[in-house]
Amino acid sequence: MNNVPLCVVTLVSLCNCLQFPSSFKKCDKRRNDFNECLSDVVYDSLKVLDKPLPGFPSLRCIEFPPDAMMEIGNRTYGLWQKYTKFRVTGLSNPQSIKTRLDFGPVTSTLTIEASYSELTWESELEAQGTVVLLPLNVITPGELIMYNPTLSFTIKLEEYEKGATYFRVIDSEFDMKSADRLKIEFKQLFPNRRLNDEFNSALSEKGLQTFELFKHLQVAFAPHFGSVFNNFLEKVPVVELFDE
């Protein structure tokens, strides 16, 4: 699966055309409650996409493409780490959604903040070097569980004409803003099971501090969110999205 979350509306693909379901709620840009309406649409759309729809995958479990990767450290003086094969579970089950769309004369900005009770990120770690003085050369599955996290998606849009007015994505940002606590588990980091479990436990105790040190690496996900938004927007005229 090469898709990442699309958090604007729920679509059904029929006859190679994008069509809105009959239950789709269209928000009026002229109303003061436009952003509240849009927040409801995004929330309902995520809930619906807990299961796949024709032409659109489920958001329950999302796999990222191979170029979504993180690489840190070095083999000579520490520990080289490469994280790939990312997958996130739980995006279709938000606790709350806050959406804002600011229209501008040249560019518009869509911001979505999504809060969850729990999200699980999985990846594969390839590591070479030393932990303290212990040599390490391993490939292992890893898991990061976030408790009560808030995710932020920021999409910059511009309008263009193609027989009608459309939006296209010109920039995208992604931020895992906060969480109450984290649980980190590398499945096979050390062959000694007890050492592996105790290392994971100690790492999880410092999970939030560790996360802040490497949080800047999350920019690897932003282009893929922007790409999926763009794939949708190039097929649907602006007039089909909102009441003017």
Domain that holds residue 83: 12-243
Q: Is 2 contained in some domain? A: no
- How far is residue 92's CA from residue 48's CA, in Å, rounded to a whole number? 8
Q: Is 5 contained in some domain? A: no
Closest CA to 1 of 49, 46, 61, 42: 61
Q: Is 109 contained in some domain? A: yes
Closest CA to 152 of 169, 135, 177, 116: 177
Is the pLDDT score of 3 beyond 60?
no
Closest CA to 68 of 57, 81, 82: 82
Q: What confidence tier does 23 reach under pLDDT thresholds 50, 70, 90? A: low
Is the pLDDT score of 176 beyond 70?
yes
Task: For residues 62-77, give the mean pLDDT.
Answer: 88
Q: What confidence tier does 1 reach under pLDDT thresholds 50, 70, 90? A: very low
Q: What confidence tier does 230 reach under pLDDT thresholds 50, 70, 90? A: confident
Residue 55 has a pLDDT of 61
Q: Is 7 contained in some domain? A: no
Residue 158 has a pLDDT of 95
Task: For residues 31-51, give the mean pLDDT.
Answer: 88
What percent of the residues of the chain are helix, what percent strand, and what percent coil, each to the nearest 5?
25, 45, 35
Q: Is 42 contained in some domain? A: yes
Mean pLDDT check: name the lowest of 4-8, 109-113, 189-193, 210-214: 4-8
Give, in order, the Cα–Cα distances in Å from 16 to each of 9, 12, 95, 241. 18, 10, 33, 19
What is the CATH classification number for the domain harbouring 73?
3.15.10.30
Is the pLDDT score of 39 beyond 70?
yes
Q: Are 200 and 210 in contact (CB under 8 A)?
A: no
Strands 79-89, 96-102: pairing kind: unpaired
In Å, how far from its chain's centre is CA 54? 22
Task: For residues 182-205, give the mean pLDDT.
Answer: 94
Is the pLDDT score of 11 beyond 90?
no
Is the pLDDT score of 177 beyond 80?
yes
Q: Is 48 contained in some domain? A: yes
Number of domains composing the chain: 1
Q: Is 179 contained in some domain? A: yes
| Greater model confidence, 212 or 55 | 212
Task: For residues 87-94, give the mean pLDDT.
Answer: 92
Q: Is 3 contained in some domain? A: no
Q: What confidence tier does 225 reach under pLDDT thresholds 50, 70, 90? A: confident
